[in-house]
Amino acid sequence: MSKISVSGLRKSFGSNEVLKGLDVEITEGEVVCVIGPSGSGKSTFLRCLNKLDELSAGTVIVDGFNLSDKTVDLNEVRQHIGMVFQHFNLFPHMTVLQNIMLAPTELKKESKADARATALKLLDRVGLSDKADARPAQLSGGQKQRVAIARSLAVNPDIMLFDEATSALDPEMVGEVLQVIRDLAAEGMTMVVVTHEMGFAREVADRVIFMADGVIVEEGTPAELFGNPQQERTQDFLSKVL
Amino acid sequence: MFRAGKLSVAVMALLALGGGFLGVSAAAASQPLAQPHAAVTGENYVIGTDTTFAPFEYREDGELTGIDMDLIRDIAANQGFTVEIKSLGFDAALQALQSNQVDGVIAGMSITDERELIFDFSDPYFDSGVQMAVAEDNTEITGYADLVGETVVAKRGSEGETFANSIKDEYGFTVKALADSATMYDDVKAGNSVAVFDDYPVLAYGINQNNGLKSVTEKEQGSSYGFAVNKGQNPELLAAFNTGLAELKDNGEYQTILDTYLEQPAPAMASGFFGLLSDSMPALMKGLGLTLLATGLSILIALVLGVLFGFFKVSESRVLRGIASVYVSIFRGTPLLVQAFFFYFGLPQLTGQSIDVLTAGVLTLSLNAGAYMTEIVRGGIQSVDPGQTEAGRSLGLGYVTTMRRVVLPQAVKIMTPSFINQFVMTLKDTSLLAVIGFAELTYQGQQIYAANFRTGETLLIVAALYFIVINLLTMLSNKLDKRFNK
């Protein structure tokens, strides 16, 4: 069964149409990497999946929730979808532990003590147990992004969205973040990963989607898309980045 | 004394505008506030007067005294009623009378045809006249003929100004207008003007208080002063004033009062700066207390308004954003002084509900500061990275929770220095409330130098008090800011 089902998705900002009719089905446990030149609409597509951006037309059904339905409780939906941002967006006025505990405690999912135990477990999982009481400002970029991933996982999502999670990082820190994402993939998390890391996409993705100018130009397994791209635009793009 | 009350005209124009804007009928505006009294006996009347117009009204050791004060109190005692004196300032007193906030005005006011259109006057109780004075050490100016090519000073809209203007071409001098006697005398002493034309009793009193001037001409024939009530209001009070005045003239009390202030004024004690400091401190401290009270109340209300309208401004509702924008543009787009006049004089005329000066002052300051606070709150919220809200919302937190836990803690930190700044601004803005007769620090200072003519020293003390209080509060605020916004 589809975990994410997108059909006819359109999105405009004013008169500028950024998404021009997307159709995507993503099944449970699938890891989908979205690649393409900047301005192609990758990030907007991702932000439509948890409705950080309003949909202009089409339907998006995530984990059984129809996002086009005005009555659907977005706060409920978003607890099923974790999101990791390019610029981390950690809360600077809280410690690492408080960042992770905020949502579970505010949403009354867990008692404070339980949330703390969960948060420590998640920190251990991303290899930052010793940073529990640090402030975001004291962390490196790679550490910040790992905390951000732990924070998203704290509400126990079924789906994870990664919006260029390594683009703002120094090269030597990319690896540690990709390792965490790789581990999540291995555990069977459904994931949509917008990335510029072609090697990573080739290694981890079950399927790769190539987007340009607001449409899906081509999609397939990494072997198909990277090994034998059918469309000229895909070939053109790949020849530049590989 | 003849004062045209340009201010009154401006305020009336504003009211007319406001009335049209609010759709309030003229009938509502002219409704009487004061209850009619059949007879004066046992009644209490509220009487408006000038802040300081020595020797007619001024403060001595914090108590209002002077010819007008003695006269109205003695007449009240004679006729069996009581009075509550409100020291508002001349223009303000006339405004208050028109809006029926006071029952009568006694303020060394000349009876003129223009004023008789809107007020009913008593029998004249004093005949005034203009006199010219120069600096004590000036031996060159002994008459109008010596004024050729010079500049003289007179009180704006006063009989002195009218007289000076009537002879300036004949004698070839220039007339400059200032707002009150104390500053005019300082102008002459400083040599900016060679002579001053002022009402003779005022001048005589000032000279006797060692204001550094001497009179060099005889007084010109002038107008008469009268006690006024609003047109058609309180006729029994007016009648009682006339009866009482006649009786005081008959029994000699009237002459005694005049002599007290004009014939044998007590020579002023020439005390040093520290004498002035200790003499003025009780009144100034009382003023400072009111300044702080008005500031505190206004800032608290402004904070509430600022947070409310600030959230309106960042809300997704176009209606709420519109309401906040209108509020901000009205109160940021009009002068604080006009707002103060409007709330104190205009609102009572429009609503028929009188308002006390503290309420009007706090209303003005809080609505004004609230507009600036709104912009501070809006700016603070908007300066927090939108990614913070997105992160909060993507975790499934609602708008309110995201605001409360994520955005506001960061916004408050950004806003705090602006809040402290606004707090200081509002504290200083309280000094503008002196114009509606709110007895805060600046008002108390004006009262003191209007009676003792030591303008420079008094203002120095007033400024020092503001400086000390503002800097202490700023230091305290910064300390709290550092402590809570690490």
Contacts of B393 in chain A (CB under 8 A): 52, 78
Nearest-by-Cβ selection for B395 from A87, A93, A103: A103
pLDDT at res. B333: 95
Q: How many CB atoms lie within 10 A of CB B124?
A: 15
- What are the φ/ψ torsions at residue B112 (nearest 5 degrees)? -125, 160
d(CA B330, CA B340): 14
Beta strands in A37-189 (DSSP E): 57-62, 65-66, 81-84, 159-163
Contact B475, B298 (CB under 8 A): no
Ramachandran quadrant class, B172 (left: phi over 0; alpha: psi -120 to 50; beta: rest): left
Structure letter (DSSP) for residue A222: H
pLDDT at res. B20: 39
Q: pTM for this one?
A: 0.71
Q: Collect all residues from A whose CB is shorter than 8 A from any CB in B.
A: 50, 52, 75-79, 81-83, 85, 87, 89-93, 102-103, 106-107, 148, 151-152, 155
Helix, strand, or coil (residue B34): coil
Six-digit token pair at A25?
Answer: 């089905």
Nearest to B449 by CA among B317, B303, B284: B284
SS3 of B279-328: the string is: HHHHHHHHHHHHHHHHHHHHHHHHHHHHHHHHHHHHCCCHHHHHHHHHHH
Nearest to B378 by CA among B430, B327, B336, B334: B327
On the question of a cis peptide bond just before residue B282, with omega within 30 degrees of 0, the verdict is no
Calculate how close chain A gets to B369, using CA atoms only, in Å: 29
- CB–CB of B396 and A85 under 8 A? no
d(CA A76, CA A65): 9
pLDDT at res. B300: 96
Q: How many CB atoms lie within 10 A of CB B150?
A: 16
Calculate how close chain A gets to B406, using CA atoms only, in Å: 7
d(CA B402, CA B357): 42
Nearest CA in chain B to A80: B396
pLDDT at res. B31: 39
Calculate how close chain B gets to A58, using CA atoms only, in Å: 21
Nearest to B150 by CA among B167, B131, B166, B174: B174
Listed in sequence order, the residues at least 6 apart from B449 whose beta carbon sits closer than 8 Å to its beta carbon are: B182, B455, B458, B459
Q: CA torsion sign, A13 to A18 to A21 to A23?
A: negative
Contacts of B387 in chain A (CB under 8 A): 85, 87, 89
- What are the φ/ψ torsions at residue A33 (nearest 5 degrees)? -100, 135
- CA triplet A151, A157, A160: central angle to 5 degrees? 80
Listed in sequence order, the residues at least 6 apart from B456 whose beta carbon sits closer than 8 Å to its beta carbon are: B186
Listed in sequence order, the residues at least 6 apart from B71 whose beta carbon sits closer than 8 Å to its beta carbon are: B106, B125, B245, B248, B254, B257
Interface-testing mutation among A102, A138, A156, with chain B (most B C-beta atoms within 10 A): A102
Listed in sequence order, the residues at least 6 apart from B76 whose beta carbon sits closer than 8 Å to its beta carbon are: B45, B82, B83, B244
- What are the φ/ψ torsions at residue B398 (nearest 5 degrees)? -75, 175
pLDDT at res. B21: 39
Contacts of A50 in chain B (CB under 8 A): 394
Q: Which residues pair with B64 in a beta bridge?
A: B59
Calculate how close chain B gets to A83, using CA atoms only, in Å: 6
The separation between CA B62 and the C-alpha centre of its own chain, rounded to angstroms, equals 17
Nearest CA in chain A to B406: A91
- CB–CB of B397 and A102 under 8 A? yes
Contacts of B384 in chain A (CB under 8 A): none
Contact B361, B426 (CB under 8 A): no
Nearest to B118 by CA among B132, B135, B98: B98
Six-digit token pair at B281?
Answer: 């401190």
Nearest to A32 by CA among A61, A64, A12, A3: A3
Structure letter (DSSP) for residue B265: P
Q: How many CB atoms lie within 10 A of CB A13?
A: 10
- CB–CB of B387 and A89 under 8 A? yes
- CB–CB of A78 and B385 under 8 A? no
Q: CA torsion sign, A163 to A165 to A170 to A174?
A: negative
Regarding beta strands B44-49 and B104-105, do their DSSP bridges make them parallel or antiparallel, or are they unpaired?
Answer: parallel
Calculate how close chain B gets to A226, using CA atoms only, in Å: 32
Number of residues in chain B: 486
Contact A34, A192 (CB under 8 A): yes
Interface-testing mutation among A67, A75, A118, A162, with chain B (most B C-beta atoms within 10 A): A75
Using CB atoms within 10 Å of the CB of residue B35, give its burial: 0 to 12 exposed, 13 to 18 middle, 19+ buried: exposed
Calculate how close chain A gets to B394, using CA atoms only, in Å: 6
Helix, strand, or coil (residue B86): strand
- CA triplet A19, A22, A26: central angle to 5 degrees? 130
Helix, strand, or coil (residue B105): strand
Helices and strands, counts by H and E, chain B: 20, 14
ipTM of the modeled complex: 0.93
Regarding beta strands A207-212 and A31-35, do their DSSP bridges make them parallel or antiparallel, or are they unpaired?
Answer: parallel
Nearest to B340 by CA among B445, B431, B417: B431
pLDDT at res. B269: 55
Q: Which residue has the tokens 């006199």?
A: B131
Calculate how close chain B gets to A15, using CA atoms only, in Å: 20
pLDDT in tens, chain B (486 residues): 444 444 444 444 444 444 433 333 333 333 344 444 557 888 899 999 987 788 898 887 778 889 999 999 999 999 999 999 998 888 888 888 998 889 999 998 989 888 999 999 999 999 888 899 999 888 888 889 899 999 999 988 778 888 899 999 999 999 988 877 888 888 888 888 899 999 888 888 888 777 788 888 888 878 889 999 999 889 999 999 999 999 999 999 998 888 888 765 555 555 788 888 888 898 899 999 999 999 999 999 999 999 999 999 998 899 999 999 999 999 999 999 999 999 988 888 888 887 888 999 999 999 999 999 999 999 999 999 999 999 999 999 999 999 999 999 999 999 999 999 999 999 999 999 988 888 899 999 988 887 777 888 999 999 999 999 999 999 998 888 888 776
Helix, strand, or coil (residue B64): strand
Using CB atoms within 10 Å of the CB of residue B274, give its burial: 0 to 12 exposed, 13 to 18 middle, 19+ buried: exposed
Nearest-by-Cβ selection for A103 from B388, B396, B409: B396
Q: CA torsion sign, B350 to B353 to B354 to B359?
A: negative
Contacts of B395 in chain A (CB under 8 A): 78-79, 102-103, 151-152, 155
Contacts of B410 in chain A (CB under 8 A): 92-93
Six-digit token pair at B120?
Answer: 């009913």
Q: Which residue has the tokens 């709110």?
A: B438
d(CA A145, CA A176): 9
Structure letter (DSSP) for residue B266: P
Q: Which residues of chain A have pLDDT under 70?
A: 1
pLDDT at res. B13: 44
